């Protein structure tokens, strides 16, 4: 399924969907009947989608929503099963086909993956900055047409700090870049640490709440000490 994605669907996935750790993709015909699907259906639906079944049998909120009035159409925080509220994107493709993307932003927690990863491959995600605390290799995949994207900001740190890793502009070069990074994980460590210092200083142990409390306590102690000196 993924090898035959229409170009406009690929562009939508890259440019418009927010960062996610798991997305369910369902392709339907113009009557909303399932053609095929890809992704973790158990996270979003009560049952596995069956080919030929209307999509609204799995998500009642999608009854009469295909074809959508506009494309893309984004439905926010729709209950897709008993526990998950997902953002659902409806996108028209060619030849009377429609693509439905289920994205669970609230349930997405990338931190366990970052802690255990030997290497991070990313584009312009903020996860790059979080991963800097690990001082492990990063490979950046850069969209050659990024300037056409709605959210592209050349002054953002995600574009100004590209020298913290090997940058790849063609997906065919990605595998080789990953192999180089794994063989020489310390190549960009100086740059990574420089930027990590700007973000975290010496506080990289993941105890944000405890560090904030310590600082607040210090400020209160300084204030109390100042009052005592004023009185004396």
How many alpha carbons lie under 13 Å from residue 231 in its C-beta half-sphere? 6
Q: Which domain holds residue 37?
A: 2-103
* pLDDT value for 113: 74
Of 73, 103, 133, the position where a domain reaches its end is 103
Residue with tokens 């400020």: 219
Domain count, the chain: 2
* pLDDT value for 98: 93
Contacts of 53 (CB under 8 A, 6+ apart): 33, 34
Q: Give pLDDT tens digits for 113-149.
A: 788 889 999 888 888 998 998 999 999 999 888 888 7
Of 85, 103, 121, the position where a domain reaches its end is 103
CATH of the domain at 74: 3.30.450.20
In a domain, 84, yes or no: yes
* pLDDT value for 58: 92
Q: How many helices (H) and strands (E) does the chain have?
A: 8, 8
On whether both 155 and 90 belong to a single domain, the answer is: no
Helix locations, the chain, DSSP H: 7-15, 41-44, 111-116, 127-131, 157-160, 174-183, 189-200, 208-231
Of 56, 73, 103, the position where a domain reaches its end is 103
pLDDT band per the 50, 70, 90 thresholds, residue 195: very high
On whether both 123 and 93 belong to a single domain, the answer is: no
pLDDT band per the 50, 70, 90 thresholds, residue 79: confident
pTM of the model: 0.51
* pLDDT value for 231: 47
The CA-based diameter of the chain, rounded to the nearest angstrom, is 84
Q: Give pLDDT tens digits for 142-175.
A: 988 888 877 788 898 999 999 999 999 988 899 9
Q: Element (H or E) spanning 35, and its range?
A: strand 34-38
């Amino acid at each position: 399924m993924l090898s035959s994605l229409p170009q406009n669907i690929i562009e939508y996935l890259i440019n418009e969907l927010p960062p996610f750790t798991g997305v369910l993709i369902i392709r339907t015909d113009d009557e909303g009947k399932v053609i095929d699907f890809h992704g973790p259906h158990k996270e979003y639906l009560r049952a596995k989608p069956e080919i030929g079944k209307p999509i609204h049998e799995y998500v009642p909120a999608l009854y009469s929503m295909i074809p959508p009035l506009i494309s893309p159409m984004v439905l926010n925080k729709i209950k897709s099963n008993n526990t998950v509220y997902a953002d659902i994107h409806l996108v028209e493709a060619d030849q009377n086909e429609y693509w439905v993307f289920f994205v669970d932003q609230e349930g997405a927690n990338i931190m366990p993956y970052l802690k255990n990863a030997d290497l991070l491959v990313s584009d312009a995600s903020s996860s790059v900055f979080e991963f800097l605390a690990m001082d492990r290799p990063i490979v950046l995949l850069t969209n050659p047409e990024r300037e056409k994207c709605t959210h592209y900001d050349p002054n953002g740190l995600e574009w100004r700090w590209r020298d913290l890793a090997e940058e790849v502009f063609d997906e065919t070069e990605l595998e080789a870049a990953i192999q180089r990074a794994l063989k020489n994980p310390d190549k960009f460590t100086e740059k990574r640490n420089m930027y990590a210092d700007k973000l975290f200083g010496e506080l990289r142990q993941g105890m944000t709440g405890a560090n904030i409390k310590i600082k607040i306590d210090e400020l209160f102690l300084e204030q109390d000490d100042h009052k005592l000196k004023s009185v004396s």
